[in-house]
Amino acid sequence: MIEPRDFIRAQVVEDLNSGKHKKAITRFPPEPNGYLHIGHAKSICLNFGIAVEAEGECNLRFDDTNPEKESQEYIDAIKQDVEWLGFHWAGAVRYASDYFDVLHDYAVELIKRGKAYVDSQSADEMRANRGTLSEPGKNSPFRERSIEENLDLFARMRAGEFDEGACILRAKIDMSSGNINLRDPAIYRIRKIAHHQTGDKWCIYPMYDYTHPISDALEFITHSLCTLEFEAHRPFYDWLLDALADVLPQPGSVVDVWKRAGAAAGVDDVLPHPQQIEFSRLNVNYTVTSKRKLKQLVDEQLVHGWDDPRMPTISGMRRRGYTPEALRDFCSRVGITKSDGVVDVGMLEFCVREHLENSAPRAMAVLRPLKVVLTNYPEGQVEEISASRHPNLPEMGDRKIPFTREFFIDRADFEEVPPKGYKRLIPGGEVRLRNAYIIKCDEVIKNAAGEITELRCSCDLATLGKNPEDRKVKGVIHWVSAEKGIPAEVRLYDRLFTDAAPDRGDVDFKTFINPQALEVVQAVLEPSLASAQAGERFQFEREGYFAVDSDSQPGKPVFNRTVGLRDSWKPGA
C-alpha cells in the first residue's frame, strides 16, 4: 500500500482517495542516446516504485525523437537496466515514434486553430529575436502567415521539399512572456535522417517538449514525474494539452487500442491532462552524470566502454558487483525533495557494503602474494579445512580449503621493521592463519636486490581450531595454498575522479580523472572459487567485496573489487 512519505506520493494518495484517478499510471521516458546512470536509477525507483506501491502501472516509453544520437544498443541496455533493478513495465515497450502519425495530426490541428505557424527565419535570427530573461522577445516576421499558407508549408516540410534549418513549426503563444519556454517554442524541425524505428518514413521530427505531454496523455498517465529543470517547461506542457483537450486520436491509429483502455483509467471524451510534478535530480559527489560527458569518456577511450566498472552507469555498477537491492536502498535513503543537493558517494558505498555483508559468501584471496614455506609440515600433505561460507547464514553451508606446506600470504601482512601497533607477521613473531594454524616466522629469504621473496616459518600443529594455553596470539591473516590455489586477475577499482565536484564547469572535468582508479594485480584464490560464474559476488576475507567479471574464461577468472570492507560514512552522517 502506498504511503505519503514524500510530497509526490502524498499527491498520488490524495488523488486516489478523492476519486480523481481510479489508479496511478506513471511512465519512465528515457532518451535512447546513452546508457542509464545513477541519476536515472532514482527516477526508475520513483516511477516504478509508485506504480508498485499504488497497485498501478508504469510504462517504459523511449523518447526517440532525435534519431541522430539514438541506437538499438542503448534501447536494449536501458531495458536490461530497468529489469535488473527489479521492475517491470506495463504492457509492451512504448516509443514516442509510435505516435509520430498522431503527433503530426495534432500539429496540423494546431495550425488550423491558429496556434502554430511555420517560421522561415534562420537559427541566428530566431535566437536574436527570442529575447532574454530581462527583455521580451520579438515576433517573427512570418508569425502572421495565414492558416492556409502554414498548412501548405508544413505539408511541404513533411514532403522533404526544404533543407534542414530552412524552417520550423512553432507554437503561437506569446513572445513577450516572462517564461522563455512560452515564446513560440519549436514543435517540429526538419531532420533528413533515418529513424531506428520508423526508417525513412519521416524527414520532420517533433521536439521533446511537444512530444512528451501528448505521449503522456495518449497513455493516460496520471502523474508525469520530472526533474526540476523541467519546472519552467510545465506551462507549455499544460498549454499544449489545454489547446488539444477536445481532440481525440483518430480511430485506426496506433493508439486506438490504448484509447479504448481509457475507460479503465476513468477517461471520458477528452484528451487526458496528466499532472506534471517536479523533483530534485540526484547529484552525487566524485561523480559525473552528464550523458554527453560520459559518452566523451567512452568515445575518447578514457574508460573501457559504458559498462566500465569505474563508470556511474547502471551497467557499470552492475559489472562492478553492485546489487539492485543496494541501489534501491540508496534511492530510498536519498528520498524525494524539491531541494537540489549533493549526496555523499559514501552513502551509496555504504548501501552496497551493507547488502553484501548480509548476502555475499566468504572466500580467501591473496592479492599480492608472498610465498611461505612451513619447514615442519610434511611435504606433499594436503589437509582439508572446513570453513563456513557465511558466518551468519548457516544455510549457505561450508567450503573445503586445502592446507599445504607452501602457501601465499599478502605482502602487506609481513613487515621486517613493523610500525607501532602492527599485529601481523614479523621476524620471530607469531600469527594465526585464518581457519588454520598458528605460524612463526623463522627466516626471511631475499634475492640479490634485497627484495623479500620467501618466508620460512614453523607451524604449531596443536593449534588447529584452538588457541595455545601458554601464550596469546592476536593477529589473524588470510592465506591460499600455493599448490591448490587458483591464479586470477583482480581489478582493484577506485573512484573515477579525484575531485568532489568534477562537473562544476570552471575546468575540464577530465583533468580530475583518477590515475589510480584501476589497478590490476595477479592474485591467488582459494579453490572454492573455481566454479564462480560472471556476476557472482563474494567477500574476500580481510580485503573487501568482489564480483566475477564478464571477461572471465574457464581457468582464467577475473574479479572486480566492488567496494572495500570499511568506510567513514554512517547513516545519519
What's 499's domain CATH number? 2.40.240.10
* Rounded Cα distance, 108 and 155, in Å: 9
Domain extent for 305: 291-361+488-564
Chain position carrying cell 536574436: 128
In a domain, 435, yes or no: yes
Q: How many domains does the chain have?
A: 3
Question: 121 lies in a domain?
Answer: yes
Partner residues linked to 27 by β-bridges: 59
pLDDT score at 571: 56
Helix (H, G, I), strand (E, B), or coil: what is residue 7? helix
* Residues 161 and 23 grouped into a single domain: yes
3-state SS assignment for residue 118? strand
Both ends of the chain: CA-CA distance in Å? 30
Determine the Cα–Cα distance for residues 229 and 386; give it in Å rounded to an integer: 57
Catalytic residue among 170, 291, 318, 495: 291
For residue 275, count other CB atoms closer than 10 A to its CB. Answer: 18
Answer yes or no: 484 catalytic: no
Residue 291 is among the residues annotated as catalytic for this protein = yes
Q: What is the pLDDT of residue 260?
A: 57
Indicate whether 246 belongs to any domain.
yes
- The C-alpha cell at 315 is 551497467
Torsion of CA 205, 206, 207, 212, to 10 degrees: -140
Burial 532-554 (b: 16+ CB within 10 A, else e): beeebbbbbbebbbbbbbeebee
> Same domain for 203 and 332?
no
Q: Answer whether residue 572 is part of any domain.
A: no
Q: pLDDT tens, 59-118?
A: 999 999 999 999 999 999 999 999 999 999 999 999 999 999 999 999 999 999 999 999
Q: What's the pLDDT at 269?
A: 60
Q: Which of 544, 541, 549, 536 is nearest to 562 (CA)?
A: 544
On whether the CB atoms of residues 387 and 435 are closer than 8 A, the answer is yes
How high is the pLDDT of residue 573?
Answer: 47
Residues 82 and 151 in one domain: yes
Residues 440 and 501 in one domain: no
For residue 243, CA distances in Å to 143, 395, 439, 473 come to: 18, 62, 82, 80
Regarding whether 548 and 405 lie in a shared domain, the answer is: no
Which of 216, 245, 279 is at the close of a domain?
279
Neighbours of 555 (CB within 10 A): 9
Residue 312 DSSP SS3: coil
Asked which of 279, 313, 331 is the last residue of a domain, the reply is 279
44 in any annotated domain: yes
**Residue 557 and residue 486 in contact, taking contact as beta carbons nearer than 8 Å:** yes
Instruction: Tell whether 224 and 334 lie within a shared domain.
Output: no
Residue 145 counted as domain residue:
yes
Report DSSP letters for 346-376, one per residue: HHHHHHHHHHHHTTPPEE-EESSEEEEEETT
Tell me the C-alpha distance between 404 and 464, whole Å: 14
What pLDDT was estimated at residue 495? 94
In whole angstroms, what is the distance from residue 310 CA to residue 302 CA?
10
Clarify whether residues 338 and 196 are in a common domain.
no
Residue 510, class by beta-carbon neighbours within 10 Å (0-12 exposed, 13-18 middle, 19+ buried)?
A: middle
**Any domain includes 32:** yes
Grid cell in block for residue 185: 517554442
Please tell me whether residues 342 and 201 are part of one structural domain.
Answer: no
Same domain, 41 and 157: yes
Residues in the chain with pLDDT values less than 50:
569, 573
Domain presence at residue 571: no
22 and 92 belong to one structural domain: yes
Q: Do the beta carbons of residue 541 and residue 363 sit within 8 Å?
A: yes
Using alpha carbons, select from 209, 217, 211 the residue that is nearest to residue 271.
Answer: 217
CATH number of the domain where residue 161 is located: 3.40.50.620
Given this model, what pLDDT does residue 268 score?
Answer: 58
416 with 533, same domain?
no
Length of the chain: 573
Closest by CA to 400, choosing from 417, 418, 388, is 388
pLDDT, residue 505, reads 78
Long-range CB contacts (within 8 A, 24+) of 471-474: 471/430, 473/430, 473/431, 473/432, 473/438, 474/423
Q: Taking a C-beta distance cutoff of 8 angstroms, is the pair 103, 210 a contact?
A: yes
Question: Which pLDDT score is estimated for 249?
Answer: 75
Question: What φ, ψ does residue 4 adopt, rounded to 5°?
Answer: -80, 60
Among residues 279, 314, 347, which one ends one of the domains? 279
Distance between CA 546 and CA 538 in Å, rounded? 5
Question: Which of 130, 138, 191, 281 is labelled catalytic?
Answer: 281
What is d(CA 294, CA 34) in angstroms, rounded to the nearest whole number?
A: 8
Active-site option among 22, 23, 31, 454: 31
Statement to judge: residues 329 and 254 lie in one domain: no
443 is annotated as an active-site residue: no
Q: Are 453 and 467 in contact (CB under 8 A)?
A: no
